[in-house]
A and B are shown apart, each in its own frame.
Chain A
Amino acid sequence: MAMPSAAGSASDFGLDDLLLDVCEELQITETQEQRARTAYGAVGEWLAGDGSPLRTLGVRVYPQGSLALRTTTKPRGKEEYDLDIVCEVARAPASPLDLYDLVLRRLKQHADYSKRLVEMKRCVRLDYAGDFHLDVLPGRPQHGGQPNAIQIPDTDLEQWHPTNPIEFIRWFEEQVRRQRSRVLKAMQAPLPAPLAPEVAGPLRNSVQLTKRYRDNQFYFVTEDVAPRSIVLTALSGEIYDGSESLSETFANVAAGMMQRKREADSRHQRLVVRNPVSPSEDFSERWVDPRCYQAFGDLLSALAVDLARLQRARGLGEVSRVLDEMFGDNLGVRSVDRYSRRVQAARERRVLGPTAMGGLSSAARRPAQPHTFHHD
């Protein structure tokens, strides 16, 4: 990976900048974000607001997953965003299936939601076709455990599944803050606003890139074997070393995941990725299925190859081809377009100038004189 410049790679126009431009293209759009926010608010109100029968049982609603972590990533093609809401009921029924039915019934009472809902193993999905789906996870507090520990119903196994979304989010935010230098804004709103890539930080951006890479690799795979986002997110958070460089972070996380898998393989065990704040929860539980574990290994191998190609690529043409292949949907071409506009913006601000080594910088000692391109 191109070594980041000492003075902050913003002046470098290197791979950090281009990968940031990829992340810009992966941002959820403002209109989509607004719609998600509206739907979230409405569902939350329905479940926990004044008219809800769940109120007498003590209910609170909060987001989890990529919206809460602020790592939402535009899925490839026409696929939908995945948004998660936890509906935690304080005085829940003893049986997991009963809790699930309780929440399901409340949602069915709503004319609109009843048409959208799909019953799934651990959540009730509300499908906003072509846009996003909202997964409502019923839960009950797990007493005596960690703060905010909950149990959610697994309707296949007919048992409780332990988890701790709030503490995981807090843990992840701590990892994000390990970034050397730069002050990050604290999370405030109940539904956190998405962050522009420049302020989201390299860890979040790297998670977005990894998720999108995964989406692209498994786009045509019909079996449901792709590694889960929560696994990729937890691994990324654990491996992250505080680097300020996105390209370095992305590469180090990929290498770190490969290393951990190899270490587990050498002990003839499978890699286990637990919730760092709730070790009884195995995020990687699906890897007991060898096809899923193989898929994870395949993803890491492919990523290593592609990162090497990216590092060797010379010229925006080759770089954009590699990015197109890695991320799909012409993301290579689109991010090169952004990148070139970034250079032009520096030129318009009269800060673009030559370096002594035959390059350009937006922090050059002597910016170039204004001029107009012509053609004859």
Chain B
Amino acid sequence: MRRGVQRNLIRSIMTRSIPRAPFRDHGASLAVQRRALLAAHPWLSVTVQGTLLTAEGTCQPTPLTARYRVRIGYRLGFSPVAEILDPVPIRRDPRVRVIHTLGRDSVPCLFLPGVREWHARLLLAATIVPWLLEWLVFYEAWHVTGNWVAGGVLPANYPEAASP
């Protein structure tokens, strides 16, 4: 190759934006997540420490429901977890965990795993936060009526039938 062409080729390669070596794609960065949360849900206070984002605040899903102090934790590379701090959800039957929770009464189970209902490109502000508010309303109604009317998937051994 002639030197002039070679120099031009090198210059064009150098000046064109070159993608970095591929590494684990975490989707929206925590900074982006934080900005979106603060913009859409100013009732949340959001902190980021390293790879962990924490959002906490007090909400009242409808004028008739109670007020709840909630926290959302999201670590890059992991699924977000919502937790209801106060008042903690209460069982209908003391032997049976609150419906649609994940391991504990205070952790609602807001999406199906494995089918990309949640993934890292999604904004928490458009997903986990409104899903959590919804859960609270349906939880309160379920507590009063015994009916969970918002659909969903329950394990076969969960004693409550799905909503009639």
Do B154 and A375 have beta carbons less than 8 Å apart? Answer: yes
Question: In the complex, are the beta carbons of A368 and B130 less than 8 A apart?
Answer: yes
The verdict on A359 contacting B59 (CB below 8 Å), with A368-B130, A375-B153 known, is yes
Chain B residue with Cβ nearest A313: B64
C-alpha gap A7/B152 in the complex (Å): 31
Nearest chain A CB to B163 CB, angstrom units: 8
Cβ-defined contact, A344 with B150, below 8 A: yes
Task: Check B145–A373 contact: CB distance below 8 A.
Answer: no
Interface status of A239 (Cβ within 8 A of chain B): no
The count of residues in chain B whose C-beta lies closer than 8 Å to any C-beta of chain A is: 55
Is there an interface contact between B151 and A373, defined as CB atoms closer than 8 Å?
Answer: yes
Interface residues of B in 137-164 (CB under 8 A from A): 137-138, 140-145, 147-155, 158
Interface positions, chain A 358-376, Cβ under 8 Å from B, are 358-360, 366-376
Interface of A is mostly: loop
Q: How far is the CA of A336 from the CA of B149 in the complex (A)?
A: 11
Inter-chain CA distance A189–B143, complex, in Å, is: 43
Chain A minimum-CB-distance residue to B39: A356
**Which residue of the partner chain A has the closest CB to B117?**
A371
- In the bound assembly, the distance between CA atoms of A18 and B88 in angstroms comes to 24
CB–CB B109/A373 < 8 A: yes
A-B pairs with beta carbons under 8 A, tally: 165
In the assembled complex, which residues on chain A have CB atoms less than 8 Å from the CB atom of B86? none
Q: Given that A14-B64, A376-B102 are known contacts, is A356 also in contact with B41, CB under 8 Å in the complex?
A: yes
Query: B133 to chain A: which residues have CB within 8 Å?
Result: 354, 358-360
What is the chain A residue whose CB lies nearest that of B138?
A340
- The A-contacting residues of B in range 81-134, CB under 8 angstroms, are 99-103, 108-113, 117-118, 122, 126-127, 129-131, 133-134
Give A18 to B60 CA distance when docked, in angstroms. Answer: 16
**Taking A344-B149, A372-B117, A373-B135 as contacts, is the C-beta distance between A360 and B61 under 8 angstroms?**
yes
| CA gap between A35 and B114 in the complex, in Å | 54
Query: Which of A211-219, A292-300, A315-323 makes up part of the contact surface?
Result: A315-323
Chain A residues near B61: list those with CB within 8 A.
358-360
**A316 and B99 within 8 A (CB):** no
Q: In angstroms, how far is the closest chain B Cβ from the Cβ of A366?
A: 6
Q: Does A6 make an interface contact (CB < 8 A)?
A: no
A352 at the interface (CB under 8 A from B): yes
Can you list 11 residue pairs at the A/B interface with Cβ under 8 Å?
A: A15-B63, A314-B65, A337-B141, A340-B137, A343-B137, A343-B141, A354-B40, A356-B41, A358-B133, A368-B126, A369-B130
- With A333-B144, A343-B134, A359-B63 given, can you name 14 additional A-B contacts, CB distance below 8 Å? A2-B64, A13-B62, A15-B63, A316-B141, A317-B143, A336-B141, A343-B141, A356-B43, A358-B57, A358-B61, A371-B110, A374-B153, A375-B99, A375-B155
3 nearest A-B pairs in the assembled complex, by CB-CB distance: A373-B152, A358-B59, A340-B141
